[in-house]
Amino acid sequence: MPIITGITKHLGGTEKETPKQQFFYGLVQKNVLVTGGSGQLGKELGRLTDRLNLPFRFLFTDVDDLDVTDREELSRFVKDYRILYIINCAAYTAVDKAEEDSDKAYLVNGKAVENIAIVSKQEGVKVIHISTDFVFDGQSEIPYTENMEPHPLSVYGQSKLKGEEALQAVGGEWMIIRTSWLYSQYGNNFVKTMIGLMQERERLTIVDDQYGTPTYAADLAELIIHILQFSEETEWKRGIYHFSNKGETTWFRFAEEIKRITGIGGCELIPVKTHEYGAAAPRPAYSVMDLSKVCSTFRVEIPKWEEALKRCVDALIND
Ligand SMILES: NC(=O)c1ccc[n+]([C@@H]2O[C@H](COP(=O)([O-])OP(=O)(O)OC[C@H]3O[C@@H](n4cnc5c(N)ncnc54)[C@H](OP(=O)(O)O)[C@@H]3O)[C@@H](O)[C@H]2O)c1
């Protein structure tokens, strides 16, 4: 059963191309730079592209190979490898730490994105950049659409908005995909943290008054690859898009579902209010995003968050 139906339709699911097709693809492969390739989204992109025969060659880099805050290094890399697309997964994602470490957050989430925008425009490269629901203040009572005004509450959210603004101001060929509550089998995220803590502790307090939608990074990776294919076959659709899994929940209910799916017993989950929890960075009380634009533009169907969580837990158990 396809995850995002458009992708598997295009790529033939698990079916591999014939040797002749593979030879042909070898000749026409297009180079795609993935920055932040060791992060959770970067790794999910690696896992996905490993199992598909695509007419692209993916160059996965992280800060040690290619520091996106260094514009000259980036420009050299893009020219040397004749890059045609950049998928920018590099980011400073420590939301609470960013309140104290704002220079670094602005450098990686703002200035480095401006570097990518400038180099890409100069070299005719198309950019898929990842942003966040934390650009919103959470005051809306309906799911956020792409044309609603951002108003970030935290340093992290402000720094990510700077990156979005830089891409738009420089004016090359960009797409911005805002996502929310990202998790995967890789890296640090809520799902893995909860599984670890539920096994260690007798009780856990979890915020129950922030509403949003979890996103399985494997599904976002599928969307990104689908967009590359779509752009090659039809046209590049510059713009901002919202992508998460479908539905909405709170962190507390998300944790309850993790507990239910994993079957971990013996840990009591206690709902608390945001102010009782006392995180360093303010977060939007409501950041559910409207997904209709991404679905209609790229003709994809998005799985519900509960179903996606089940797939991630299965991957954690089986891999
Ligand atoms: N995680 C979430 O809940 C969430 C929610 C909404 C949106 N997003 C967005 O989704 C995207 C992917 O997030 P993620 O969770 O995959 O992030 P992640 O796991 O933190 O990965 C980011 C990667 O970027 C690397 N990086 C940092 N500075 C760099 C630099 N100067 N040059 C090159 N690479 C650099 C990091 O390396 P180090 O680890 O060595 O620093 C890390 O490997 C980000 O744009 C993020 O803002 C994330």
CB atoms within 10 A of CB 204: 18
* The two three-digit tokens of residue 95, written as one number: 């939301």
Spatial separation of the C-alpha atoms in residues 303 and 246, rounded to whole Å: 6
Could you write out the three-class secondary structure of 273-300?
Answer: CHHHHCCCCCCCCECCECCHHHHHHHCC
Q: Return the best residue to mutate from 67, 71, 89 for the ligand 1 pocket (most ligand atoms within 8 A of CB).
A: 89
Query: Over 80: is that where the pLDDT of 19 sits?
Result: no
Dihedral sign for Cα atoms in the order 145, 185, 224, 111? positive
Q: Does the pLDDT at position 20 exceed 80?
A: no
* pLDDT over 50 (residue 118): yes
Average pLDDT over residues 258-263: 96
Angstrom CA distances, 136 to 112, 143, 245, 283, stand at 21, 11, 18, 9
For ligand 1, say whether the CB of 182 is within 6 Å of any of its atoms: yes
Pocket test for ligand 1, best of 63, 74, 175, 244 (most atoms within 8 A of CB): 63
Residue 156 known to be catalytic: yes
d(CA 128, CA 239): 10
Q: Can you give the pLDDT at residue 17?
A: 52
| pLDDT > 70? residue 26 | no
Which one of 92, 156, 216, 286 is the catalytic residue?
156
Assign 23 a pLDDT band (cuts: 50, 70, 90): low
pLDDT value of position 226: 97
Residues 123-141: pLDDT tens digits?
999 999 999 999 999 999 9
Give the number of the atom of ligand 1 that is nearest the alpha carbon of residue 112.
Answer: 31
Ligand 1 centre to CA of 41 (Å) is: 8
Which whole number is the average pLDDT over 156-174? Answer: 97
Question: Looking at the predicted structure, is the pLDDT value of residue 48 above 70?
Answer: yes
Q: Please, which pLDDT band fits residue 258 given cuts at 50, 70 and 90?
A: very high
Ligand 1 atom closest to the CA of 41, numbered from 1: 16
Q: Is the pLDDT of residue 10 over 50?
A: no
Fold held by 5-189+214-247+288-304: Rossmann fold (3.40.50)
pLDDT tens digits for range 270-292: 999 999 988 999 999 999 999 99
Ligand 1 near 112 CB (within 6 A): yes
Q: Check residues 25 and 253 and name the one with the higher pLDDT.
A: 253
240: helix, coil or strand?
strand
Nearest to 34 by CA among 75, 79, 83, 80: 83
Nearest to 238 by CA among 293, 278, 308, 311: 293
What does pLDDT average to over the chain? Answer: 92
pTM of the model as a whole = 0.93
| Domain edges within the chain | 5-189+214-247+288-304
